[in-house]
Amino acid sequence: MRRFFICASLCLFFLYWGTTFLYVAPKNSVFTPFFEENSAFRYFIGQNWSLFAPPPKDNKKLYYTFYRKNSTETRTFEVLESLLKLKISNAPFNSSESVRDFILSNSASNVIWWSENYFKVEHEKSDEHFSEEEALTQKTEFIESAYHFQMLKSYAVLVAKEHNISLDDYDFSFRLAKIDIPDYEDRKKLMDEEYVFEEHPVFESEKFSLEP
Amino acid sequence: MKNSIHRLENENKFREFSSIFRIFIGLYLLRKVFFTWEFQELLVRGKYLSPQPASSILSLLHIDVNWFASNFEFFYLIYILLIFLFLFGIGKQLTVFFLYVFLEIIYDYNWLVLNGGDNLLEFVLLYFIFIDSYSRFSLKPLRYKNEKVARFSNFISNLAGYSICIHLCVAYFMSAIFKIHSDDWFHGVGMYYSVVAERFNGTSLNFLLVQSGLFVTVATYATIAIELAYPFLIWFKKTRHLMIVLAIMLHFGIAMFTMLYAFQFLFIFLQGFFITNNEWKRIFGILKNTFRWNKTRIRT
């Protein structure tokens, strides 16, 4: 009996580690198909150790614009830059700012990634051809149905409350932009206080209502 | 093979450190609850969030996702209670099992704010279901009347303890492989981009240090070298301590320069699993003597 339990434990141990090792290994044609999206493997042994590889190549900006109903008044706030400044100035006691940064930066990265790569990924998946307008509608629907987009949209309520903006009287939209980190060869630009880093707009949402 | 099995049965090789690490896990989880609490309303019940697909555990338990979302405070209350039971070693492995289930459910709704450290901790907690970590800092240590059961408990506990060590090695090895595959790391500039990105710009020194090509290149390749060598050299007695020191230096540097504190401290603490019971006993002895010596000095 004792021998049985020891053998069973060892078999489980090696099976678990074999599977985990194959899961975390770089994508390949033999083993990757076993770990498809939504598979039980992915849920129970899901992990990713490509820490900082590839490293980040840009900084992000996230703007919320609030439009007063029946008026031309608008108010715009950039939320990431001020948050990161606070995170840096409060370091190492910046856990609250870090959590907020994770929510916003991860969501922003995902929306940016899909708005830049949607067509490439979809083209690989299917051979169907759509008109440009249809394709754009599909892309917008896809991005808007994603959790990351909905998170940025939900965050607008917090921004409105922080700036005493009445939820009943305003609509809102948000937009995302990227600022490239200077190439390694141009790293002196980081020390040049007069250098202006160019912002590249990447995504702009439609207008939504803030009403509860 | 027989000898190795006997060795695994004779003694719980992680007895000393697993007790300390149990306290660390408890505090780590409590800290996470404390700092993410103000965002739970947004993460679980955000105004525009569509109901998320049920997690596997919620589905297995036949719990409705919407019900969880509207009662997540209740889940958190039980979760916090389980953390305290775990901290005091009450309920032993049964408590760890339930804590793991609750952690999985809660992390399913918090995945946006999880980092690599939280991911690794999920696995460590899974291994802790099998580890006897109750020799210290526990209201009552685990005792078995039957010798055979005690030996089997040691065996399982050791397999789980080694799983933590292997997992750490896998994390380092894969991180090194992915870095080598990435052009920036391969050409010695990966560190530059990692420390100047606004999100990770931890000190005012970051911009200054990256002006030195030597610093960037050495730091980039040293990171890869440590991550690549660690999984192999950590198992040899002669190189073990050196690898532990190098890993601690690496994580301390990453914590300082990129502001990923909890993540890095978890990796630093995990190094303790490579220190033997006897070495820990010696460390405890030194700490005890220092504490006693200080106490006597204060009295006199």
Contacting residues of B for A190, CB less than 8 Å apart: 196, 207, 210-211
pLDDT over 90 at B128, yes or no: yes
DSSP A37: T
> Cβ separation of A190 and B201 shorter than 8 Å?
no
Contact B159 A6 (CB under 8 A): no
Residue located via tokens 């060892």: A10
Chain B residue closest to A41 (CA)? B56
Q: Which residue has the higher pLDDT, A30 or B88?
A: B88
Better-scored residue on pLDDT, B160 or A34: B160
Q: Do B259 and A187 touch (CB under 8 A)?
A: no
Which of B35, B43, B185 has the CB atom closest to A53's CB atom? Answer: B185
**pLDDT tens figures, A107-152:** 999 999 999 998 888 766 666 777 778 888 888 999 999 999 999 9
**CA neighbours closer than 13 Å in the CB half-sphere of residue B63:** 15
Q: Residue B55 — pLDDT band, cuts 50, 70, 90?
A: low
Interface check for A161 against chain B (CB to CB < 8 A): the answer is no
| Contact check, Cβ <8 Å, A47/B119 | yes
Mean per-residue pLDDT, B273-299: 87
> pLDDT by residue (tens digit) across B90-104?
999 999 999 999 999
Mutation test of the interface with chain A: which of B1, B193, B204, choosing the one with the most A Cβ atoms within 10 A?
B193
For the record, the structure tokens of B161 come out as 């303890």
Query: Over pLDDT 70: what percentage of chain A?
Result: 96
A167 to chain B, any CB pair closer than 8 A? The answer is no
Q: Which residues of A touch B35 (CB under 8 A)?
A: 95-96, 98-99
Q: Give the predicted TM-score (pTM) of the model.
A: 0.92
Q: Please, what is the end-to-end C-alpha distance for chain B in angstroms?
A: 57
- Report the SS3 class of residue A199: strand
Task: Say which of A2, A87, A190 has its CB closest to residue B152.
Answer: A2
What is the C-alpha to C-alpha distance for residues A18 and A5, in angstroms, rounded to an integer? Answer: 20
Cβ distance of A88 and B197 shorter than 8 Å: no
Higher pLDDT, A45 or B181: B181
Q: pLDDT confidence of A37, banded at 50, 70, 90?
A: low
CB–CB contact B120 A47 (8 Å): yes
User: What pLDDT does A130 receive?
Assistant: 74
Cis amide linkage into residue A54, ω under 30° from 0? yes
As beta bridge partners, residue A59 has A179
Identify the pLDDT of residue A38: 61
pLDDT at B54: 52
A84 contacts in B (CB within 8 Å)? Answer: 198-199, 201
Residues B241-247 have a mean pLDDT of 98
Distance from CA of A148 to the nearest CA of B (A): 9
Q: Quick one: pLDDT at residue B64?
A: 77
Q: Which residue type does B118 have?
A: D
Query: End-to-end CA distance of chain A, in Å?
Result: 63
User: Mean of the pLDDT values across residues B237-265?
Assistant: 96
The answer to whether the Cβ–Cβ distance between B42 and A151 falls below 8 Å is: yes
ipTM: 0.90
Tokens found for residue A166:
């009445």
- Between B203 and A131, where is the model more confident? B203
What is the CA B94 to chain-centroid distance, rounded?
Answer: 20
CA angle A162, A166, A167 (to 5 degrees): 95
Residue A175 CB neighbours (<10 A): 16
Distance CA B123, CA B288 (A): 32
Confidence check: pLDDT of B25 > 60: yes
Check if A137 contacts B (Cβ < 8 Å): no
Contact B239, B263 (CB under 8 A): no
CB contact under 8 A, B196 and A181: yes
Cβ atoms A64, A172 nearer than 8 A: yes
In B, which residues are within 8 Å of A2 by CB distance?
A: 148, 152
Helix, strand, coil shares of chain B as percentages rounded to 5?
A: 80, 0, 20
Mutation target vs A (from B191, B259, B260, B267; most A CBs, 10 A cutoff) = B259
Give chain A positions within 8 Å (CB) of B39: 99-100, 103
Q: Who among B112, B119, B170 is closest to A20 (CB)?
A: B170
Most confident listed range (A48-52, A55-59, A136-140, A142-146): A55-59
CA dist., res. B202 & res. B191, Å (int):
13
Kindly report the nearest CA distance between residue B289 and chain A, in angstroms: 32
Do the Cβ atoms of B53 and B109 come closer than 8 Å?
A: no
Q: How many CA atoms lie within 13 A of A140 on its CB side?
A: 9
Task: Compute the nearest-CA separation of A12 from chain B (Å).
Answer: 10
